[in-house]
Structures are given as C-alpha cells and as structure tokens.
Structure 1
Amino acid sequence: MTCDVCENSNCLIKRNLVSLEESGLDVEKNNLRCKKGQQFIIEGAPVNGLFFVLKGKVKVFRTGINGREQIVRFAKEGEIIGHRGFGTEEYYSIGAVALEDSVLCYFSKVYLQNTLQSNPKFAYDLMLFYANELNKSESKVKSISQMAVRERVIDTLLYINRKFGSNKGFLDVSLSRREYAEYAGTTEEQVIRVFSALKKEKLIVTKGKKIGINDIQLLKNEISEHNFFLDS
C-alpha cells in the first residue's frame, strides 16, 4: 500500500506526506507482514530503522531482572515502533511482538536521518512526538510508584480501553493475564485477584481472555486522585 492511499491519518509520515513528496518515500518504504506472536524487533539488535503499524496491534517490552518482561506500551495503526533507540543508540533497548496478524511499514535509519536533515517540518513534527512520548513515560513512572496494585490494574484496563476501544462489549484486544501484569508492573496472581474482585463488584465482566468494562466512570473515579492521564 502506498502512503497516499493509507487511511492512518494519525501516522507521522501520512501527516507530512505533502512535504515529503520529493524524498522518494514510496521507493524507500518496505512492508513487513507479521503473524500473531511473531517478534520483529529483537532487544539488543542494531538499530537499522523505524517501523510504523499499518494494520494490527503490537506490544513493546523490555527485559528486566531474571529475564522478566515489562511491557512498555502497546501500539496500533499509525503508531511508531523502535523510536526509543533511533538517533541516540546503536542498539534497540526494546523488543516488539505482534499481538495479532499485522502489517508494518519500515523505513531505514539512513533514509530517515537524511530526510530529517532536509525537511524542517518533518523534523519538528518528530520532535513534538518525542516530547509527547516523554510526557507519557514520566506519567507512567509516577503512577507505578504511587498507585496500589488494584489502582495500577484499573489504570491498565482504562489505558487498554483508550488505546483499542471495545468490540461487542469487550476490549478489542486479546491479552493474557500475564500481559496485563507485565504492563501494570505486578504479578499475574495479583491481576487475577483484582479481576476477581472487580467482577464481584460488577465493574467488569470476563469471558476467557476477553474483558469488558461495565462502568468506565466508576473505574476512573477510583484512581482520580492520581490525576488520571489520558494517553492513547
């Protein structure tokens, strides 16, 4: 798919399509198809470029103590993957895995660096993106350090809802209890306990891996003292 017919209006490349007309964009772009569960960025591998999600859903993670994964964020259509190491590090500090069958757009590091040097508007837009990402990261660090386990799990549910929305009454992404724990910064056992309590309180419903939120406002109210941060 060429960028001019792409429907991901929030994509950084799509937003700058007019100013990038002379950059040989379509010639430089490569598409990568990933099956569900396929890892396309290996933590510690050399940084060769950036990925943009054309279709699908992705999780981004880092490996911590004793090989335990910590999910940094999730990504959907139009979002960038691999930017944390771009321009500052020689190796990816994160890994990335497709949560479902996905299609990715890939641009090489050399091409992007040359384009940034010759295109101020594109460079400025990327700078704003990094500033926004830093704001989100700082907010998450604050929430993890100040929230109780139940609050972190609720915050995770609300984040997933903002990111992917719902489908037929359930969050529109299939995640294991372990993956919820890896994002919330807790254990799988704690997530199961909190989900069980929320079900008894009729705040959520579950069906296998699927989770539905019955009352989003009540969950927001429970963590409102932490200055609920509307990221996406």
Structure 2
Amino acid sequence: MSEEDFNFLYESTIQKSYQKDEVIFQQGEKSPFLVFLQKGLVKFNYLDTNNKNLILTIVSAPSLLGLANVLNEDINLFSIIAIEDSMGCQIDLNKVKVLAMKNKNFLISLTKLSTDMFRNSIYNVISLAHKQINGRIADILLFLARDIYHSNTFTLSISRQELAEFAGCSKENVIKSLRSLNRDNIIRISGKEIEILDIKKLIKISQKG
C-alpha cells in the first residue's frame, strides 16, 4: 500500500476501547466501519431463529474484523463480541471499498485475510456436523493452544457456557468431557487454567472424532 493510500484510510480512523462482553458488530445491523483489533480477544457469535447461540470462532489480535461486509452486503452476518477488554481502530468501510476498487492488490489481500479468518469457522461447523462431543472438545483445545494462546498451558478467557456454545453442546457435556480428559491425564485443569499434558492423545481423539 502506498503512503497516499495509507493516509487516505488513516485520516478517518477512530481509536476505540472495548470492554469485556461489549458488542463490536451486531448481527443483522449495518456497520459503517471495519475494526483493526490491536489488542484482545473476540468471538464470532451467531444467534439462530430459535434464539440458540453458537460461537463460530474466536479471533485474537492483531486481526481485521468486519471483512465480510467488504465482499458482501453491509448487514452483519453475525455478532463480534469482546471476550476480554480489547483495543481497536475503526476504519471507514466506504474508504476501504473505494481503495479495494482502485487497487487490485489491496483487494486480493483483503480477500486472503477474509478467507484465512473464516477457515476456522468452517472447520468448526464441520466438526459439529461429524464429530462426537469428545472430538469437538479436543478440536477446540487444540485450536486454543495453537492459534489463540500459542502455548499448551493457558488460562481460559471464556466460560464453560461459552465452550458449550463453541462445541454446540450442553454445558454439562463440556464439563463431563473435560473431567474425562483430566482423569485420563491428557490435560490438567486447575480452575480456568488448562495444560495439555499429552498432545498426541488429544490429536488422536480429535482425528477419531
């Protein structure tokens, strides 16, 4: 991106802080901006027609949020909600679209970012459709360790209920699955802290489904 194009976007940006559980993008509403997430974690939340909530994926900073609105209509397909106190920079959506039409390489970059971000959502939907609860929980733990916390030992930023919404099952089933993995010394649980003790066995559970 040229300095001129960068300044074109930057001159209208607004620095924002988001508190835990604050809605950044509301499902079904229009948003006139994208958000460059500089710090924190967010969840992609989808509420179906039966008012059942599903977490599509979790995204950590740095990430560009709201990309679906560049390539699609301006209506948010899902909500994006802060999991923890976060910082972001709002970018005028119309300016992004103008620049995308003008600069082919910029459009290609946006498309790639969007594809990479939604890949995890697609994998999660596939997991929900084809795997049993233990396989889904294994998938989520591996995803959190690899893509969110970048460590096999981490402190969960989400509740057991949110884990259930991510796995597409009940909170009770999540607790039962975690206890089973803990009992088998595949993971260690201490409050909200989780340590993956045997990643090979966890991967095997994920693959077995």
User: TM-score, length-normalised on structure 2?
Assistant: 0.90
C-alpha separation in 2, matches of 1:74 and 1:67: 20
On the 8 A contact 1:164/1:171 being kept in 2, the answer is: no
Q: Are residues 1:219 and 2:179 paired?
A: no
Tell me the equivalent position of 2:106: 122
C-alpha separation in 2, matches of 1:116 and 1:28: 16
On the 8 A contact 2:161/2:171 being kept in 1, the answer is: yes
Deviations 1:91-149 (A, max 9, x none): 11211221111101111111100111111111111122333345444433222211111
Q: Are residues 1:142 and 2:142 paired?
A: no
Tell me the equivalent position of 1:157: 141
1:21 aligned partner, one-letter code: E
Runs of 4+ in 1 over 6 A off after TM superposition: none
Alignment counterpart, residue 3 of structure 2, candidates 18, 21, 32: 21
| DSSP 3-state at the match of 2:38 | strand
Tell me the equivalent position of 2:163: 180
C-alpha separation in 1, matches of 2:136 and 2:187: 15
When the two chains are superposed, the root-mean-square deviation of aligned CA atoms in Å is 2.0
Alignment counterpart, residue 180 of structure 2, candidates 197, 211, 215: 197
Distance change (3 Å), C-alpha of 1:73 and 1:208: same
User: TM-score, length-normalised on structure 1?
Assistant: 0.81
Flag structure 1 segments of 5+ consecutive residues without an equivalent.
1-18, 227-232
Q: Are residues 1:60 and 2:60 paired?
A: no
Aligned length: 207
C-alpha separation in 2, matches of 1:122 and 1:214: 42
Alignment counterpart, residue 79 of structure 1, candidates 63, 71, 74: 63
C-alpha separation in 2, matches of 1:161 and 1:135: 17
Tell me the equivalent position of 2:192: 209
Q: Percent identity?
A: 25
Flag structure 2 segments of 5+ consecutive residues without an equivalent.
none
Name whichever of 51-60 and 19-28 sits farther off.
19-28
1:68 aligned partner, one-letter code: K
